[in-house]
Chain A
């Protein structure tokens, strides 16, 4: 999946992602969706987490393979053209909610099952 491939997060974060660290139990996907829309994540990553493009492609986020703590750490600094989100703008609780929301997004399916995309 391209969002894993394109990720250049620090090795520790990647390790955390694949160690299967559970999302924080208190993340609320409904609130998470509202925050995802309100603070503008959808502008660059799409409402379905399908990815988008500002100066260059912004990766898909549906089914993000990062634990909430790592997501929070990432958001505080941003990376390249991904803007930073400090805690006064998006709190740790907000991040947990966004994380929970991203887990509810279905992510990619098999294009062969969609007639318009089947080749």
Chain B
């Protein structure tokens, strides 16, 4: 009896009906059951429904239409297309099945669905994509559960001031929710989860509202200072028929021009810069478009001044003699004028600080140095997350978009430089070029130490990779923590040679954001490469499946130091300070025992994988093979066993 009961419980509603119909025909009694063939008891095991129940279950009431000829999702798809969304990065979920189906069958898979196995991957791909393509894309996930997964990547994009349209499906009206999951997966205000790090959000109540809010969201996201925006999309609105399509209007997307700084104030900065003995310009998230780099080169060359590029974007050619990013401290110490343009953390750069019991800090810059900033970051900061960094007092702070302000600033600088000044500037330029050259020489000399060592030094790994890509149209779209070699020694001069870091330092960014960037590079036929920390990789290893599934060409060079090495060092420092256990710090900080076989892991996802490679002599040939795969349009991963940094 007991086993019969559990069989009954296992039969679903449809199975139950089927069973009921059969049992009516066969009229098996409990006594006869023993005589029938083995499978019969299963069929007959359900309790018999009465005639009323049968009718309710089989006859469709007139008020319950089964099909429809339009859906709100169709209109939403039109809106997304019209707002210029080309890709929808997503992890499927029933709360947006209406929109999902409409994108496919009404929109012809436009925006193109990029299938991700985790919501963090979806958001990070949109992040990486934007920094190459310059066009924001959309991601969509389940309300509550999916959005919590995506939150980390949205936070990185926020800190990096990168626009994206994040969306969830949500079931607003409680009487429309089925029991169970649909309650766990619905929220009154899903945007609350991420409101601290999005610029704007809405939960439209009808389709017209959806159109206006989505277009508005896409516009707000792209108005500097840029940031992610969020729309919660009601499931009923997606799934149910459109009442009157004629009435619905999709507003045109118009983007405002970024505001430059106030002209009088910019003229003041131009004066400060031209009159200075040793002016220094600090930039971080300056380049919004490919136009920024030549503009900054023009300013630097007019002034013959040092540029310190913190590297949030591809702002300044790495090998330009005026690029002093690799000797920032020395350049800051000499400066009498420092101008930060979209320099996110100026305080962090121009002060020295130490990680001791007493957290001390002191200015590196001269007490007499004059400071100015131009940028729009302070036009968008919020109180909770502290990504604004420490307050840096300056002499002149200008609100306005850095890139938009550059042409006027340069024009004013040029006006102020008379012929008499030009030879002095040329002299300064020569000195700066010499300092740049010795910075490079010192780096090259350091790069030779341990050249043939195993595990492979990070300098050797980077040099091996560069040697094989430098003649291609390459794009380095990610690096592992603290890997300084490429920006020091590679000749980065095209806007897509580099695209900055995570923004928020949230580990798990690099693998998926690199893939997003590679997707953007694909249509240009660029060779995309990313140095991949092993710790970062293990946050979102499923990224590789998306790479294989969508055939996105990209070489991941696994910088496999078998640790969350940054934390390994911090723990070592802690043990030193506490005078104990200096030999214990591997616990909780290293990724060994067992070692992870990343090449095999890659292969299991359908990605070409080689390694682990610990002999530096084997690295070049392995890279060659992997790059052949990538040049052929597919992803590849090389697992390089490396020394820490």
User: Hey, which bits of chain A sit against chain B, CB under 8 A?
Assistant: 1-2, 5, 38-40, 42-44, 46-55, 57-58, 60, 62, 78, 80-81, 83-86, 88-90, 105-111, 114, 116-117, 119
Main secondary structure of the interface of A (DSSP, over half): loop
Give 3 nearest A-B pairs by CB, closest first: A48-B450, A83-B576, A52-B645
Mark B537-580 against chain A: 1 for CB-CB distance below 8 A, else 0.
Answer: 00000000000000000000000000001101110111111011
A111's contact among B448, B484, B573, by CB below 8 Å, is which?
B448
Decide if B451 touches A52 in the complex (CB within 8 Å).
no
CA distance A47 to B579 in the complex (A): 23
CA distance A48 to B356 in the complex (A): 26
Decide if B448 touches A86 in the complex (CB within 8 Å).
no
If A81-B354, A89-B579, A109-B451 touch, whether A46 touches B442 (CB-CB below 8 Å) is no
Q: What chain A residues lie within 8 Å of B459 (beta carbons)?
A: 50
Decide if A111 touches B445 in the complex (CB within 8 Å).
yes
CA distance A5 to B441 in the complex (A): 14
If A42-B644, A83-B577 touch, whether A48 touches B449 (CB-CB below 8 Å) is yes
If A108-B448, A108-B449, A114-B451 touch, whether A39 touches B583 (CB-CB below 8 Å) is yes
A43's contact among B455, B460, B572, by CB below 8 Å, is which?
B572
B159 to chain A, nearest CB (A): 18
Decide if B643 touches A48 in the complex (CB within 8 Å).
yes
Q: What chain A residues lie within 8 Å of B447 (beta carbons)?
A: 111, 117
Question: Is B463 interfacial (CB-CB < 8 Å)?
Answer: yes
Decide if A88 touches B579 in the complex (CB within 8 Å).
yes
Task: Please provide the chain B residues from 439 to 486 with a CB less than 8 Å away from any CB of chain A in the complex.
Answer: 440-442, 444-451, 453, 455, 457, 459-460, 463-464, 466-467, 482, 484
14 more contacts with CB within 8 A, not counting A48-B449, A84-B579, A105-B449, are A40-B575, A43-B568, A50-B446, A50-B450, A50-B459, A50-B643, A52-B482, A54-B573, A81-B355, A83-B574, A83-B575, A88-B579, A108-B449, A111-B448
Question: Is B81 interfacial (CB-CB < 8 Å)?
Answer: no
B586 to chain A, nearest CB (A): 9
Question: Is B8 interfacial (CB-CB < 8 Å)?
Answer: no
Q: What chain A residues lie within 8 Å of B446 (beta carbons)?
A: 2, 50-51, 60, 108
Ordered by A's residue number, 7 sampled pairs between the chains whose C-beta atoms are within 8 Å are: A38-B582, A47-B453, A48-B643, A51-B446, A60-B446, A78-B576, A109-B448
Decide if A38 touches B467 in the complex (CB within 8 Å).
no
B456 to chain A, nearest CB (A): 10
Determine the residue in chain B with the shortest Cβ distance to A61. Answer: B449
If A52-B644, A53-B484 touch, whether A83 touches B572 (CB-CB below 8 Å) is yes
Decide if B449 touches A106 in the complex (CB within 8 Å).
yes
CA distance A52 to B645 in the complex (A): 5
Decide if B582 touches A81 in the complex (CB within 8 Å).
no
Q: What chain B residues lie within 8 Å of A85 (beta carbons)?
A: 576, 582
Question: Is B585 interfacial (CB-CB < 8 Å)?
Answer: yes
Decide if A114 touches B448 in the complex (CB within 8 Å).
yes
CA distance A70 to B354 in the complex (A): 22
If A52-B645, A116-B464 touch, whether A89 touches B568 (CB-CB below 8 Å) is no
Decide if B442 touches A2 in the complex (CB within 8 Å).
yes
B585's contact among A40, A46, A48, by CB below 8 Å, is which?
A40
Q: What chain A residues lie within 8 Å of B450 (beta carbons)?
A: 46-50, 62, 105
Decide if B356 touches A80 in the complex (CB within 8 Å).
yes
Mark B414-440 against chain A: 1 for CB-CB distance below 8 A, else 0.
Answer: 000000000000000000000000001
CA distance A49 to B575 in the complex (A): 21
Decide if B355 touches A46 in the complex (CB within 8 Å).
no
Decide if A116 touches B463 in the complex (CB within 8 Å).
yes
A52 to chain B, nearest CB (A): 4
Decide if B576 touches A84 in the complex (CB within 8 Å).
yes
